[in-house]
Structures are given as structure tokens and as C-alpha cells.
Structure 1
Amino acid sequence: MAAGDPGNNKEEDVAGKKEFLIKINLDFCKACGLCYSYCPTKAIGPDKEFRASVVDADKCIGCLQCENYCPDFAIEIEEIK
């Protein structure tokens, strides 16, 4: 790629990246594991008690798989603006 090619501009890449807030209500979580089983980027995973836990929020792509598969409505994904 050429020096002026937009594909090489890391600042532009970062500016275009969406960020998401992962909210987990541990009072509702029953440790079924569905949320982290369906997370394509492994942004969430199990804690010591196998409940949902944020592993790396920067990996979240906002696909809502965790939120949609959670039978207890313990997860909410919110886009940060």
C-alpha cells in the first residue's frame, strides 16, 4: 500500500471503531454459559463461578449474540457514543 493510502492510517481506523459497554447483572446470571459460548470474539467469558464476566471489552463488536442468547436477560450491550 502507498504511504497516503487510507488503509495505512491507524488514526482513521481507531476513529471509525465503535465501542460498546457490556453490562452484566450478576443477580440474574445463572451461569449457564450460553453468552460466552456464542461470543465470537471472546470479549466475555466465565468467572470463577462460571457466571458471565467481561474478559476484554475492547474485543466486543456489538453483535448482541450474548444478549440475545441469555435466557435470564442478564446482559445488555450498549454502544458508547
Structure 2
Amino acid sequence: MEFSWKADPSAIFSRPLVGAGGGRERCNNTKTCPDIWELDNGDVAVIGHDLTTRYAGNLPDGVNIGIGERLVVIPGAMFRAAKAGDT
């Protein structure tokens, strides 16, 4: 079974999924910072460091990076805060 989901480039940012203290403190008040946002269509946008090239040759069995996809890394505290609903 092939996964046929496609990102909708017309979706807009709706709300952040991580509140203050969810990893942003690591940004030292810079204008750029990893982030996780819900889009108005329910999809999620992740802003992180692009490490596609670094991890491409070391992916677990069955994990692939498709054409047009990038592997991004964000702080673990940020992901855990989003998972807990810390907005």
C-alpha cells in the first residue's frame, strides 16, 4: 500500500503547537528558531535544521526520504511539549 498524501502549499499557518518554554529558550532570543505549527487544514509544519544529507545513508530499514522531502531535526523538548499540548 502506497501512501499518497501530498502537502497542500495553499494551507496557511494557524497556531503554534509549542508554547513558551517548549524548547524556544535554546534560541537565545534570536529571530530564527525551530518550531512546530498546525496549518489551517490540520497538517503540521516543522521548522528545524535540515540534516537530510547527514542522515540519508543511516536511516533505519524501511525508512526513506522521498523526492521533495527533507529530514529536519528539532529539540526534543520542543517535540515533547507539542505532544503534551503545551501551547
Instruction: State the TM bucket, normalised to the shorter chain.
Output: under 0.3
Q: Which is greater in Rg?
A: 1
Please report the TM-score for the alignment, with normalisation by the length of structure 1: 0.23
Structure with higher helix content: 1
